[in-house]
Amino acid sequence: MGVVGLQSQTAKPAGIQGLVELVSGDMEKVNELILSKAGSNVELIPEIARHLIDSGGKRLRPMLTLAFAQMFGYEGEGHVILAASVEFMHTATLLHDDVVDESDMRRGKLAARKLWGNQASVLVGDYLLGQAFKMMVDVRSLEALRILSEASAIIAEGEVLQLGAAQDTTTTYDMYLRVIEAKTAALFAAACEVSPEIADKGDEMRAAARKFGLELGYAFQLVDDALDYGGATVDLGKDVGDDFHEGKITLPVIYAMERGSDEDKAFWKRCLEDGDIKDGDLDHAIKLLKDTGALADTVQRARDYGASAIDALSVFPDGPAKQALKEAVDFCIARVS
């Protein structure tokens, strides 16, 4: 399933297998570390943490950290610890997001907050964030700590910004980009940047790795936003129309509003701003998004960011890591094609 009419634009299906295989040895260590650090004498903590950790996320972010470490020939255990920290930061964000968005589902399973309540979700998120910082300290790199703590503050800032922008149909393209840079791209960027940092590769390599992560993060989020109106429920484990029901103003909606008639604008305003959603409104929204080319153009923007991400790789040596990272970009975009 995918956005209708886009299949033909995809050169060929791309997979994430190359990346998975490249880092499989290190990833096993990351998984062990994650399970051991999600442990606690307080029963509820491992229970909730495992629910999320076992629920089949792709672990794309820690794989990026590991792939970059491998590309730079880093020898040590720092990349494994930082990869696990990055995944904990991400997991903490998911727990808090589900509370904030009042989501019922996460990756096709009941959200933790539906099983254990909002209170436990907030607190276990806090615990995982604390554990993430504890682990980072073990790597003994102040710069890696700086990169990841900065990402942590930026992610939260982006979520607050999104909260303010929700239900506000005057949200501009620029404001939308600020939100997704903060809530998604910043952690992708940090996950990539820490590896050249601990491998002592200098500013140019750090900047290029960061740029790769940032552009990939934009692409990833744009694809997510298109998928939210484009089917593929089973693959993504996410209900179609979540953003619509939460009043989130994403790029597809911004495009559709710009291009729509006064009647269309009133429709979006009623649904997203007033939250007055009737039967059939989601179908109508998807029709408008398709008819105005809003979904297709969102996917095109994702492709542009994906191309920039691949460009950023040019300074790195050719080899299996670089190849796997390229394929990961294609994979992220192919999800929607």
**Residue 185 near a copy of itself by CB under 8 A:** no
**Residue 284 near a copy of itself by CB under 8 A:** no
**Residue 126 near a copy of itself by CB under 8 A:** yes
**Residue 10 near a copy of itself by CB under 8 A:** no
**Residue 81 near a copy of itself by CB under 8 A:** no
From candidates 54, 56, 146, 258, binder to a copy of itself by CB under 8 A: 146
| Least distance from a copy of itself to the Cβ atom of residue 81, Å | 13
**Residue 76 near a copy of itself by CB under 8 A:** no
From candidates 1, 115, 142, 315, binder to a copy of itself by CB under 8 A: 142
- CA nearest neighbour of 144 among 97, 209, 100: 209
Among 39-47, 65-73, 275-283, 312-320, the segment contacting a copy of itself (CB under 8 A) = 39-47
| Least distance from a copy of itself to the Cβ atom of residue 95, Å | 10
From candidates 163, 204, 317, 319, binder to a copy of itself by CB under 8 A: 163
**CA-to-CA distance for 173 and 96, rounded, in angstroms?**
25
Q: In angstroms, what is the C-alpha Rg of the chain?
A: 20
Among 13-21, 136-144, 260-268, 297-305, the segment contacting a copy of itself (CB under 8 A) = 136-144
Distances (CA, A) of 18 to 53, 101, 190, 217, 224: 22, 34, 22, 19, 22
| Least distance from a copy of itself to the Cβ atom of residue 168, Å | 13
| Least distance from a copy of itself to the Cβ atom of residue 164, Å | 6
**CA-to-CA distance for 192 and 62, rounded, in angstroms?**
9
Query: Which residues of this protein are in contact with a copy of itself, per CB under 8 A?
Result: 40, 42-45, 96, 99-100, 118-120, 122-124, 126-127, 129-131, 133-134, 136-137, 140, 142, 145-146, 149-150, 152-157, 159-161, 163-164
